[in-house]
Amino acid sequence: MKQKRILFTGGGTAGHVIVNLALIPHFQREGWAIDYIGSKSGIERDLINQLPNITYHPISTGKLRRYMSVENFKDPFKVLKGTLDAWNIIRKTKPNIIFSKGGFVSVPVVVAARLRRVPTIIHESDITPGLANKLATPFAKKVLTTFKETAKYLPDKKAEHVGAVVREELFQGNKTRGYEVTNLTPGKPIILIMGGSIGSKKINEAIRSNLDSLLKRYQFIHICGRGNVDPLHQRKGYVQFEYVNEELKDIFAITDFVISRAGANAIFEFLALDLPMLLIPLSLAASRGDQIDNAKSFKENGFAHVLPEEELTQERLLDEIYALEQAAVTIKETMKQYSSEESRDKVIRMIEKMAK
């Protein structure tokens, strides 16, 4: 029997890779050949190159900007070259199916797949589709959504709600290793701070300016983004990382609460792990508002507390952390009603069916 082959794409941020990382282990166990198309220097290259038996193919890619820039005039040519690159890769590898997580690099891949008549499934994590997925949707067979609300923004015949796809290894964390990696100890509650793969200057500054007060009551694991570790703030009970990958499951195992941006993939992982969260979504000044929508939905469902970035001050942050601790038991009970394993299995079955 001919070996089945799947090609994954998606990148630009960790959020555009996480769902792919959740699905890839299944297809590795089942003996599929796996290829990945990403950018030449994006975070997806670093993440995928850590996995065995996956061929990574870098292509040219532009950036889909919503603001005026000289680069906007160059990017259409980069996208065209990327489409040609992807077309040649698909021609050579002959995948049965392509799974796209979005991001700028995925658009030329999905277009090229349509030209090569290879079926593509797109996954959209946020309530409102991102620009890359909007452009790619006409060329795809299916668009899977994490939020039920997303369907109204997509063609009826293509949209299907599947829920969140969460990496199974996150449930396999070891508390002993978590304490070893962080040099923290049982006793005081541990708060994990995540500002996204590039970090958040505002969140970093707000936490660090409050350390004297906060460390009396809590311990902190601060994933602060590349280049954002500050040696001047190294102290007992406060540990900093630029980025965490393999050790993340062990860090989750010792985490009591989370302070985070509101990227959909990340917050659904916290939900699956029953971790009460304080969400500080990116403001409209810095985004299209997708994180604000995500956070609003989680707050309405009782999964999270929300602090708008515009209201982030030292005093307000302290108040919100204390309020989250007080509400933690109620939040956890609400979270237990949610199941993520069914979502991952459903997506896998859809991919296998369409690959035939």
Whether the per-residue pLDDT at 152 is higher than 70: the answer is: yes
DSSP 200: -
Of 44, 45, 23, nearest to 34 by C-alpha is 23
Per-residue model confidence (pLDDT) at position 197: 56
Q: Which residue has the higher pLDDT, 64 or 307?
A: 307
- pLDDT (mean) for 302-327: 94
pLDDT in tens, 184-212: 999 899 999 997 655 578 888 889 988 99
Average pLDDT taken over every residue of the chain: 90
User: How many Cβ atoms are within 10 Å of 186's Cβ, its own excluded?
Assistant: 9
Other CB atoms within a 10 A radius of the CB of residue 201 amount to: 12
Residue 340 or 255, more confident: 255
295 neighbors 303 (Cβ within 8 angstroms): no
Rounded Cα distance, 166 and 270, in Å:
10
Cα torsion 62, 143, 24, 179: sign: positive
Residue 177 to residue 251: CA distance in whole angstroms: 8
Helical residues (DSSP H) of the chain, grouped into ranges: 18-29, 43-48, 71-93, 106-115, 131-136, 175-182, 201-209, 211-214, 248-254, 264-272, 290-300, 314-335, 341-355
Average pLDDT over residues 107-114: 96
* pLDDT in the model for residue 297: 93
What mean pLDDT do residues 121-147 have? 93
What is the mean predicted confidence (pLDDT) over 164-175? 91
- The average pLDDT across 79-94 equals 95
If one compares 64 and 181, the residue with the highest pLDDT of the two is 181
**Cα distance between residue 193 and residue 311, in whole Å:** 18
- pLDDT attached to residue 68: 54
Helices (H), 289-337: 290-300, 314-335
Comparing C-alpha atoms, which of 140, 66, 63, 108 is closest to residue 289?
66
Residue 31 has pLDDT above 60, yes or no: yes
Q: Output the six-digit token pair for 164.
A: 């969140």
Mean of pLDDT values over 110-118: 97
Can you state the percent helix, strand and coil of the chain, rounding each to 5? Answer: 45, 15, 35
Asked which of 77-91, 165-179, 328-342 is least confident by mean pLDDT, the reply is: 328-342
Could you give the CA distance from residue 273 to residue 56 in angstroms, rounded to a whole number?
Answer: 30
C-alpha to C-alpha distance for 180 and 244, rounded to whole angstroms: 14
Closest to 25 measured CA to CA, from 1, 51, 57: 51
Domains of the chain: residue spans and CATH: 5-165+341-355 (3.40.50.2000), 171-335 (3.40.50.2000)
Average pLDDT over residues 67-87: 75
What pLDDT is stored for residue 19 in this prediction? 93
Per-residue pLDDT, averaged over 50-67, amounts to: 81
Helix (H, G, I), strand (E, B) or coil at 230: coil
- How large is the average pLDDT for residues 10-30? 92
In one letter, which amino acid is 279? L
Per-residue pLDDT at 65: 52
Model confidence at 73: pLDDT above 70 = no
Q: What amino acid occupies position 100?
A: S
pLDDT band, residue 244 (cuts 50/70/90): confident
Position 199 scores a pLDDT of 56
Q: Does residue 64 surpass a pLDDT of 80?
A: no
**Exposure pattern of 273-282 as b/e (b: 16+ CB <10 Å)?**
bebbbbbbbb
Task: Taking residues 115-131, report their average pLDDT.
Answer: 94
* Distance, CA of 14 to CA of 3 (rounded, Å): 29
pLDDT of residue 282: 86
CB atoms within 10 A of CB 123: 23
pLDDT digits (tens, 9 = 90+) for 320-349: 999 999 999 999 999 988 766 688 999 999
Give the residue among 182, 164, 165, 162 at the shortest CA–CA distance from 173: 182
CB 215 within 8 A of CB 234: no
